[in-house]
Amino acid sequence: MENENKRWKWQLPFLLLLIIGTVLIIRRHQPHEAPFQKEEGMIFGTVFHATYQCDSSLHQAIMGELQRVDASLSMFNPNSTISLINKGESQEADSLLRIVFRQSQEISRATDGCFDVTVAPLVNAWGFGFKSGALPDSSQVDSILQFVGWQKVTLTGDKIEKQDERIVMDFSAIAKGFGSDQVASFFNSRGIQNYMIEIGGEIVVKGHNPNGKDWHVGVNRPIEDNTSKNQEIQAVIPLTNCAMATSGNYRNYYIGANGKKLAHTIDPHSGYPVQHSILSSTVVAPTCSMADAFATSFMVMGLEKAQQVLAKHPELQAYFIYSDGKDEEFKVWCTEGIKEKLDNQ
């Protein structure tokens, strides 16, 4: 018995070393679980947020991607590519503008012109752009409509040609979504598998959130509030490997002299602010530029036409909050894909 105890005392240190060595080898061969980084900043006159799984911060690289988009598409940057083209100082479209121009033309075709990047002069005339003052009368609206129309601008090679020098292009209804896509593309190039990028409510998500689950994205209840302080959540949608954007008339509006509410979404066909029942249009799509542009388009065309377009585009999902005019309660209509996500939470 005594010899056996001595043998165990002699073997115990080697046994402990063996156990410790085995644990270290297992740890060394286990995949490294990188932490989640969180970033925020200002771009395009709004706030962006990014959450992504990576060993180190990529803030400077993210800002670089967003600044490239700003230098191409910003209406507020007097030296941006689109500003120079609008002023007639250049026809040359850079690589980013060429991509967004083609995307915009495709969506204009798909929405029968409800998405129109040449609508800016009408937006300004109604007091939602760079100018404010007396509202336009019907003759002024008709005059502006002469140089509004997505088919009046073309891209040949790297040159944008306008049928009328007064045409002004504004890509604001797709630029934030495109910016989110650019950051997502950068993350993909770095092999990042789990991320969320959001610019002013236009979102791209991939993989899972820090809790290992789908990303949960809220849709605001369309409460009329110009201050944007009242942000009740109407629904929370679980998402992964897709993009989402929301457009609404419940914040950017004003009351006209006749007491009628004038919303910032302008119908490029009539030249007047839309009066449809949709209060909030949320679209889920493969890319954020697509989601962004279709969300705006659906605000222009109204519920029935939006449903018809969605029936032709299975790659899109939508969640509409609308008013039927009969009572004060909001109504909701959504595609089956969104309904399944909400039911399975």
Which domains can be identified in the chain, with CATH numbers? 33-75+171-213 (3.10.520.10), 87-169 (1.10.3980.10), 214-345 (3.10.520.10)
Residue 5 has pLDDT above 70, yes or no: no
Give SS3 for 155.
strand
Least confident of 115-124, 230-239, 282-291: 230-239
258/202: higher pLDDT: 202
3-state secondary structure 12-26: HHHHHHHHHHHHHHH
Residue 317 has pLDDT above 70, yes or no: yes
Q: What is the mean pLDDT of residues 58-68?
A: 97
pTM: 0.85
Residue 227 has pLDDT above 80, yes or no: no
Q: How many CB atoms lie within 10 A of CB 18?
A: 10
Average pLDDT, the chain: 87
Of the chain, the percentage scoring pLDDT greater than 90 comes to 70
- Compute the distance between CA of residue 73 and CA of residue 93 in angstroms, rounded to an integer: 10
Alpha helix ranges (H) inside the chain = 2-29, 59-73, 81-86, 95-110, 120-125, 138-145, 172-189, 288-301, 303-312, 336-343
Residue 180 has pLDDT above 70, yes or no: yes
Residue 176 has pLDDT above 70, yes or no: yes
Q: What is the mean pLDDT of residues 167-184?
A: 97
Burial readout 151-162 (b: 16 or more C-beta within 10 A, e: otherwise): eebeeeeeebeb
Q: What is the mean pLDDT of residues 120-137?
A: 75
Q: What is the mean pLDDT of residues 35-48?
A: 94
Residue 101 has pLDDT above 50, yes or no: yes
pLDDT of residue 27: 46
pLDDT of residue 191: 97
pLDDT band, residue 277 (cuts 50/70/90):
confident
pLDDT of residue 326: 72
pLDDT band, residue 273 (cuts 50/70/90):
confident
Bridge partners for 53 per DSSP: 36
pLDDT of residue 6: 54
pLDDT of residue 10: 53
Give SS3 for 35.
coil
Residue 155 has pLDDT above 90, yes or no: yes
Return the top range by mean pLDDT from 43-52, 126-135, 271-280, 319-328. 43-52
Give SS3 for 97.
helix
pLDDT of residue 343: 86
pLDDT band, residue 30 (cuts 50/70/90):
very low
pLDDT band, residue 256 (cuts 50/70/90):
very low
**How many angstroms from the chain centroid is the CA of residue 135?**
30
Bridge partners for 218 per DSSP: 236
SS3 breakdown of the chain: % helix, strand, coil, rounded to 5?
A: 40, 25, 40
